[in-house]
Amino acid sequence: MDFVLKINCDNDAFGDNALSRDIEVSYILGRIAQSLEDGKSYGTIRDTNGNTVGEYEYIPSGKE
């Protein structure tokens, strides 16, 4: 089984420098971690502006 995470960082919430991008990714990872702890093993990812920027899920190995 694999855990697949895809985040598109090409919008305003990720800013125009490395620090802004890192802060946004960190925020998103924290929300994903909380969702996993709550038992949600897949979902849509939204940035701080509410835009859909990706998804995460467990999938059987070799089925990407």
What are the DSSP E strand ranges found in 1-64?
2-7, 42-46, 52-59
Write out the residue range of the structural domain in which residue 26 sits. 2-59
pLDDT of residue 63: 62
Specify if 40 maps to a domain.
Answer: yes
pLDDT in tens, 5-63: 999 999 999 999 999 999 999 999 999 999 999 999 999 999 999 999 999 999 988 76
| Sheet architecture: strand order including 2-7 | 2-7, 52-59, 42-46
pLDDT at 61: 81
Q: Give a yes or no: residue 64 inside a domain.
A: no
pLDDT above 90 (res 3):
yes
Does the pLDDT at position 64 exceed 70? no
Say which DSSP state 29 is in: H
How many domains in the chain?
A: 1
